[in-house]
A = this chain, B = another copy of it.
Amino acid sequence: MADQAFVTLATTDNYAKGAMVLGRSLRNHNTSKKLVAMIGPHVSEPSRAVLRKVYDEVRLVDVLDSGDAAHLALMKRPDLGVTFTKLHCWTLTEYSKCVFMDADTLVLSNIDELFEREELSAAPDPGWPDCFNSGVFVFRPSNETYGKLLTACSESGSFDGGDQGVLNSFFSDWATADISKHLPFIYNLSSIAIYTYLPAFKQYGHDAKVVHFLGKVKPWDYSYDTTSKRIKGQSQEASDMHPNYLMQWWELFCSSVLPLMKEE
């Protein structure tokens, strides 16, 4: 459906690389949905040009410029800059339903079935599993919801300093109300979980649909040797792991994104 879209966000050129790989991974698995990238003002022109080749729509979201409630909220809570930018996804009201995906996610198969779910559907966060992880979630754009989110955000802040805290406080019955809003964990599989409970990963991991490179070190922080096809600085343990998601990210980056960047 034309009024449904996958949405991501990049406020820096690095996160833009993530968004490029994510977009390509969605296309490679033949999504029938639109792809929207929200970008911040610091994303460079060459990066924007590449994003335009991968995404149907690249939308500049400048909270400082916007003069709307987000701008006001930001004045009160300058610590929540990227969070306010992410919440902007609720303003994409030309779409009836969307799936937000962090720029540090990678799609491993077609996931269009996510659009059968309702707002707010998300997978549990490993660590504190009564919270959902806000790296992948189904939502319905709505200016009303957007306004309420901003109010909640500027009044109560975020218990974790980011969007995940805000969204969990706002959609506070996620853990207890409706099992259909619990996305299976394989739609937001974080690398952390693999180590924490390896037997479960071996049992269920082969069905993984979305990998999330959650945490401080992102795929683009490694360097990759295109000749030897090796990732520098990856621990031996991680590189022995099958499947090697970090390698998949880099292979997609080299095969599908680098050529587009070279054209710029």
CA distance A91 to B161 in the complex (A): 48
Chain B residues lying within 8 Å of A178, measured Cβ to Cβ, are 179
Best-surrounded residue of A176, A177, A179, A185 (most CB of chain B within 10 A):
A179
Chain B minimum-CB-distance residue to A133: B129
Chain B minimum-CB-distance residue to A160: B199
Determine how close the nearest CB of chain B comes to the CB of A114; give it in whole angstroms: 15
B127 touches A204 (CB 8 A): no
Determine how close the nearest CB of chain B comes to the CB of A138; give it in whole angstroms: 16
CA distance A177 to B182 in the complex (A): 10
CA distance A170 to B175 in the complex (A): 23
Q: A226 contacts the other chain (Cβ, under 8 Å)?
A: no
Chain B residues lying within 8 Å of A159, measured Cβ to Cβ, are 199-200, 202-203
CA distance A179 to B179 in the complex (A): 5
CA distance A186 to B127 in the complex (A): 13
Given A130-B185, A160-B200, A204-B130, A177 and B179 contact (CB-CB distance below 8 Å)? yes
A199 touches B161 (CB 8 A): yes
CA distance A204 to B123 in the complex (A): 19
Within 8 A of B (CB), among A132-188: 159-161, 165, 175-179, 182, 184-186
CA distance A128 to B186 in the complex (A): 10
Within 8 A of B (CB), among A88-147: 123-131
Interface, chain A (partner B; CB < 8 A):
123-131, 159-161, 165, 175-179, 182, 184-186, 192-193, 196-197, 199-204
